[in-house]
Amino acid sequence: MPPSIEQPGGDRQVTIVEVGPRDGLQNEKRLVSTGEKLRLIGMLADCGFARIEATAFVSPKWVPQMADHEAVMRGAARRAGLVLSALVPNEQGARAAIAAGAQELAVFTSASETFSKRNTNCTIEEGLARFVPVMALAAEHALPVRGYVSCAVDCPYEGPIEPGAVAKVVARLRDLGCAEIAVADTIGRATPERVHAMVLATLEEAEAARLAGHFHDTSGLALANVDAAWDLGLRVFDSAAGGLGGCPYAPGAAGNLRSGALVEHFASRGIATGVNRELLAEIENMLAEGAFFSEL
């Protein structure tokens, strides 16, 4: 089994996984240059993020923005205490990511059969089967693997998703050996009450220390949803600088939860994030003013 992902300790510390360079940029219509992506990753590393999702080793045919994945992973800033991860869909992607220097792999499935077929052109069961060689490769190279469960609350095609369906997929990812499993409100329709019910169901299959929350802010409830998951013991949450992002296969999915908002939210509660709030604010101001990416 791959090594575990280090978790924050106690109720006064949280880990924020910065997903802007991958999940944030993947849906941008104009291509962002490799140099600009590397600049963003470098500045986010300087902020003190301990984990950054740098890129995705997926087919450029389906996600053109990630076509430079190898150059990004090879050129990304390396820091002591920083883990750079890459999203991979299958064994081929995993091999390429490992060769390029990925320090963590991420695989993705869904709690919705329809979304799985639209997003990966396969059923949930077929997708999980693709992860078996990925897990073997990760173990061989002593790399942890994160598993994403998309549509953990709502699906753009099927509507509300039953918490039990999410728990079932979490159990499968647990059995495959994922060190961490991120439950994702992919289209941002969740409410705190429904997040509570979903997380409570997943806790029947995986301990809180193995779970993470990934919330989009489409309805303006992302921070309230974070709190609902926090209250049940989750201590790892995803966000994207400037609220970049959305899913190209999820109609209606707005940006990810903004990193600055999440950091400030935890700071107001006296919970340490390890992130330089001033530098992060500078990055987000540049993004808001259109001064960061010359091509956007």
Phi, psi of 153 (to 5 degrees): -125, -50
Tokens representing 12 are 């006064």
155 is known as an active-site residue: no
The single residue of 151, 155, 178, 247 carrying the catalytic annotation is 247
What are 60-67's contacts with CB under 8 Å, separation 24+?
A: 63/26, 63/248, 64/31, 65/25, 65/26, 65/27, 65/28, 65/31, 65/32, 66/22, 66/26, 67/31
Residue given tokens 């970049």 in the structure block: 244
Residue 113, amino acid: E
Active site residues: 247
